[in-house]
């Protein structure tokens, strides 16, 4: 895990989550993922990552940088993209200070969302 700086902040959040998802593939928690590119079909639909789960289902994820106004950010996203229910907030500063702890937090957040939707 490396420190992230010097790029546009949204791209940094996506880089961090991409690293976390690669770890989840290695651990067997997910089968794979597709990361959207700027202005491609997934991006236009509000999807930053499309996770391929172990049961061959897919989970669309929107990545946001951590903000003080999470509720308004989520509400705005849901108005534009009501089908993308999973929004992950990445605390970049926390990740740079404690990458392993932050990585485990993001993994747990994703796994909890996967478990909650299967019930």
pLDDT at 12 over 80: yes
Q: Tokens 């605390």 correspond to what residue?
A: 91
Nearest CA to 25 out of 112, 117, 107 is that of: 107
List phi, psi (to 5°) of 51. Answer: -80, 135
- pTM for the model stands at 0.83
pLDDT band at 6; cut points 50, 70, 90: very low
Q: Could you report the per-residue pLDDT of 22-69, keeping only the tens digit for each?
A: 999 999 999 999 999 989 999 999 999 999 999 989 999 999 887 677
Nearest CA to 43 out of 56, 31, 52, 34 is that of: 34
Domain layout of the chain by residue ranges: 9-117
Chain centroid offset of residue 76 CA: 17
């Amino acid at each position: 895990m490396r420190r992230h700086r010097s790029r546009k902040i949204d791209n940094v959040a996506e880089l961090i989550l991409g690293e976390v998802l690669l770890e989840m593939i290695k651990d067997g928690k997910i089968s794979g993922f597709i990361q959207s590119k700027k202005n491609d079909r997934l991006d236009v639909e509000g999807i930053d990552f499309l996770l391929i789960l172990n049961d061959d289902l897919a989970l669309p994820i929107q990545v946001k940088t951590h903000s003080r106004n999470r509720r308004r950010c989520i509400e705005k996203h849901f108005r534009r993209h009501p089908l993308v229910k999973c929004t992950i907030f990445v605390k970049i500063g926390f990740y740079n200070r404690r990458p392993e702890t932050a990585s485990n937090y993001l993994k747990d957040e994703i796994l909890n969302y996967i478990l909650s939707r299967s019930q």
